[in-house]
Structures are given as structure tokens and as C-alpha cells.
Amino acid sequence: MTCRLFAEVLENEGYHVDSAHTCEEALDRLAQAQYQAVILDVRMPGMNGLEAARIAHSRDASIPIIIMTAFGDIDTAVEAIRDGAFDFISKPMNLDELKGTVARALRQPQVARERGDSSGAPSPRLGTLIGNSPAIVEVYKTIARAAPTASTVLITGESGTGKELIARAIHEHSSRAGGSFVAVDCGALTESLLASELFGHVRGAFTGAVNDKKGVFEEASGGTCFLDEIGDIGLSMQSKLLRVLQEHQVRRVGGQKWTKVDVRVIAATNKDLEDLMRQRRYREDLFYRLNVVSIHVPPLRERRQDIPALARHFLACYAQSNGKPIASISEGAMALLEAYDWPGNVRELENTIEQVLILSNRPALAVEDLPAAIRDPEAARSTRSVEQSFNFPDTPPLEEMKKRYVLHVLDTAGGNISRAAKLLDVDRRSLYRMLARYHVGPYSKSPE
């Protein structure tokens, strides 16, 4: 039925279309005649579409192969494109998308793709990077194409959309997968502490630097460094980071020696870097160095059709880890989850599912289990409007505020532990313990 429908649609566009109902039949036809494009479904009787694509591509790499599947996920996308497919379409599909993809395939006479691992081994599963909406499938495609390269990637999107998951997916599907993946939250550290974290320091570079220490660029050499909140760094740090990207070498804080590093950089931000450039708060040369490959992660409210799959995934994970016999979500509760705007995106959805699962004693999560803001979004919006009229800020958790304050005082004291402890009215040992708890590079271990 589907095959006949697609054939009719494409014939109405003026194409000559041959149909085959098994991959074996399709490969026989490819051996007997010349075709300008091939469309293969993944789920087929006998040989699947991915196997057929590999065989067809090995015989003639110039034929564009389009893979379609109802089971849209990043592993399928990566495997398909890695094995030579021109593009990947997730069902249910828009017929205009199908026609557009075929037209693009026929405009490209030679398909030459950089191959990754050709062993055919299955790709690893990737946590909560889930969904088959058109928007997220486009993200999968970009990951699949970017992963085998050495190019820098800039991931943009609102907080909670899963930017680090995407960075990890790129790393895990790259030739660097055997190396380290090191993540740094650039927005959580002052500039002096961030410099030490990224570039390392030599003994005596500042008070408390009792030993030489590698920075994350050295630690991640041969692997990937993920720089989160890259829009929060100052102009001075931007200049230093630019040199790493251009020259592939670092110099530790307080040191004189330049060290070569082989590291792929993936950066992420929830800020509009182009707007910051217009305000002269962000270097254009750094932006273009970071933005070689761009991935925009859509907010959850723009891909609502992925909410059921994400919610069921989180439910299964937390039901297992908490020993709760809750296996489903009622239709009414799921409808409310899909209707809610999720300002905190996937992270908020995950936290909500965990919370309601822990508190519920029902065999299935029901409407009554959901937070009031989801049950009655209009009332929640009214409450938010009142808060905004009083200019209530979107404040971070108390512990995060404490951390920022301590780091600010330490930076004000020029990294001098004694002076910072005096300003904070605590003893040195207590301050060391706080810095160790916050995983601050030079002070990551408290004194015995």
C-alpha cells in the first residue's frame, strides 16, 4: 500500500518509478538496470533496508540512496548515512518532504560520503536523545554527518533541551569515541578559574597551586572537549580560546611552554551569539571558528509529538530504579503532558515524571498525580504573569547561588585563599572544603 502510494506520488511528479517488495528483488533490479535514485524502507521482509543500502552503495556509490523508517532514532540515522545513504526520512512522512528529498538527490550526480567505521557493528544507545519528530530527525541527520569529521560544532537551544546529549552523541559516533569526553560549564566559573580549568596551571601560578595541573584541553587530547554555556565567557577568555582553535596548542596559567593538543571542540549556548556580536560582546572570529557545523535543538513545545516517547522512557527508567510497579500513563495524563509548554524542556519533563512516579501509588500515572501547573496551565500562566509584574527574577537554586558567591569572592581576592576566607568569615580549611565540593579545578581536593 505504502509502496504503491509513493510510486503514484512520484509518477505524478514526472518520474519513472519501478517498485520492489523485498530488498532482494530491489538489488536484482539494480544489477540489471541503471537507476538515478533508490528509496529503501528499513523494515522489510527478509533483508532489511540498511543491509540492502550497504550492498547497493558498495556496488555503485554514485546512486543516491534514501532510507525511510517508522523507527526514527539517531542510531538508525547514523548507520544509514555512515553506510552511504543520501538522506534519511522518518515516517509518518510529509509527501512534500519525500518529493523534495528525491529532487535534491537527483540534483546531486555524485554521492561521495566520508565513511566512519565500516564494520557494520551496531551503534551504542544514547540515553535520552529520543524522538522522531521532523525537527529532531533533522538533528539526527546533522549528528550523523558531523560525527565522522573533525569539525568544530556549535549547538544552540534553550536550557534543558539536551545539548550535552547531542555533544556526547557526536563524540560516541566519531573516530574519537575511544578517547575522553570532557565537559566544562563555562558559565559556572570566574575567568581566572576557567583559565586554570581549561588550560591548566604550573606550580606557584597562584596561591593554592601546589602542583602542576593539566587543563581539560590536555586531558581530552585525542578525544572531545565540550564547552557548555560558551556565550558566558568574557572577551579576554574568547581570545585565549580562539588561539586553541586556530593553533591547536595551549599554555598553562603561569607557564611559558606551549603544548600541542589534539582535541575536538563542541560548544553549546542558550544565548544568541550573533546578537552578542552586534553588541561587540562576542568576537566574530571566534564565532565563525565555533560555528563550522551548527545544530539548533528545538524546544520541547515545538516537538510535542516526541513527548509521549520521552515520558514513557523516563517512566520506565525511574520505575526500575525506584522499584515502583508503574508501567503506563493514562490517556488523560498524557494529553495534559502533551499540551503543557515545558519551559524547562526535556529536563523539566524528566524531573516531573520522576517526581510523580515517586509520589504515586497507582498502577498507572493519572491526571491527579500531575503537578497543578500541568493540570491547570491557565492558572499557572496567571501566576507567572503576577510574578513578572513584580519583576521576580528567574533565580537559580540556593546552592548554586552560594557557589557563585564563593567564586566571586575568591576571584575578588585574586585567588588568595586566606584573603577570600577572611572576606567570607570562614577558616581556610572550610573554604577548601567548599571549593572541593564545587569541583573547582585548582582546589578539587580539600586538605587533610
In degrees and rounded to multiples of 5, residue 238 shows phi and psi of: -60, -40
Q: Grid cell 515524571 — which residue?
A: 353
* 189, 191, 254 from 194: Cα distances, Å: 5, 5, 14
> What is this structure's pTM?
0.64
Grid cell at residue 85: 545513504
Helix (H) or strand (E) holding 184: strand 181-185
DSSP for 253-312, written as a single string = BT---EEE---EEEEEESS-HHHHHHTTSS-HHHHHHHTTEEEEPPPGGG-GGGHHHHHH
Question: Residue 380: exposed, middle, or buried by beta-carbon count in 10 A (0-12, 13-18, 19+)?
Answer: middle
Please give the distance of CA 164 from its chain centroid, rounded to a whole number.
4
Domain end marker among 259, 278, 296:
296
Could you tell me if 49 and 170 lie in one domain?
no
Could you tell me if 2 and 23 are in contact, meaning their C-beta atoms sit under 8 angstroms apart? no
Could you tell me if 177 and 315 are in contact, meaning their C-beta atoms sit under 8 angstroms apart? no
Could you tell me if 382 and 402 lie in one domain?
no
List pLDDT tens digits, range 55-71. 888 888 778 888 887 65
Model confidence at 316: pLDDT above 80: yes
Question: Residue 156: exposed, middle, or buried by beta-carbon count in 10 A (0-12, 13-18, 19+)?
Answer: buried
Task: Note the pLDDT of residue 448.
Answer: 47
Separation CA 333–CA 366 (nearest Å): 5
Separation CA 81–CA 439 (nearest Å): 39
Separation CA 117–CA 285 (nearest Å): 33
If you average pLDDT over every residue of the chain, what do you get?
82
Question: Residue 177: exposed, middle, or buried by beta-carbon count in 10 A (0-12, 13-18, 19+)?
Answer: middle
Grid cell at residue 328: 503506563
Separation CA 442–CA 194 (nearest Å): 10
Residue 87: Cβ within 10 Å count: 21
CA angle 372, 373, 378 (to 5 degrees): 115
Task: Note the pLDDT of residue 63.
Answer: 84
Least confident of 106-115, 176-185, 236-245, 327-336: 106-115
List pLDDT tens digits, range 227-252. 999 999 999 999 999 999 999 999 99
Is 143 inside any structural domain? Answer: no
Is 136 inside any structural domain? Answer: no
Could you tell me if 271 and 209 lie in one domain?
yes
Amino acid sitting at position 235:
L
Domain end marker among 254, 279, 296:
296
List pLDDT tens digits, range 367-398. 999 999 998 877 555 555 544 555 545 556 77
Is 377 inside any structural domain? Answer: yes
Q: What is the CATH number of the domain that holds 375?
A: 1.10.8.60
What is the three-class DSSP state of 147?
coil
Is 130 inside any structural domain? Answer: no
Q: Grid cell 507567572 — which residue?
A: 384
Question: For residue 110, what pLDDT band results from cuts at 50, 70 and 90?
Answer: very low
Could you tell me if 101 and 168 lie in one domain?
no
Grid cell at residue 23: 530488498
Taken as a whole, the chain contains a residue count of 448
User: What's the number of domains the chain is made of?
Assistant: 4
Nearest to 174 by CA among 96, 108, 82, 260: 82
Could you tell me if 200 and 277 lie in one domain?
yes
Beta strands 249-251 and 258-260, pairing class: antiparallel
List pLDDT tens digits, range 401-433. 777 788 878 777 767 788 888 888 888 878 887
Q: What is the CATH number of the domain that holds 247?
A: 3.40.50.300
Cite the DSSP H helix spans in 16-111.
23-32, 49-59, 74-82, 95-107
Q: What is the CATH number of the domain that holds 416?
A: 1.10.10
Is 142 inside any structural domain? Answer: no
Could you tell me if 8 and 64 lie in one domain?
yes
DSSP for 106-144, written as a single string = HH-S---------S-PPPPP-TT----SHHHHHHHHHHH
Is 134 inside any structural domain? Answer: no
Could you tell me if 154 and 286 lie in one domain?
yes
Could you tell me if 79 and 160 lie in one domain?
no
Could you tell me if 89 and 177 lie in one domain?
no
In degrees and rounded to multiples of 5, residue 232 shows phi and psi of: -95, -5
Is 141 inside any structural domain? Answer: no
What is the three-class DSSP state of 156?
strand
Domain end marker among 267, 296, 325:
296
Is 312 inside any structural domain? Answer: yes
Task: Note the pLDDT of residue 282.
Answer: 96
Residue numbers of the domain that contains 220 = 149-296
Could you tell me if 181 and 223 are in contact, meaning their C-beta atoms sit under 8 angstroms apart? yes
Could you tell me if 414 and 353 lie in one domain?
no
Could you tell me if 211 and 329 lie in one domain?
no
Separation CA 288–CA 279 (nearest Å): 16
Could you tell me if 182 and 282 lie in one domain?
yes
Separation CA 188–CA 228 (nearest Å): 10
Cis before residue 92, ω within 30 degrees of 0? yes
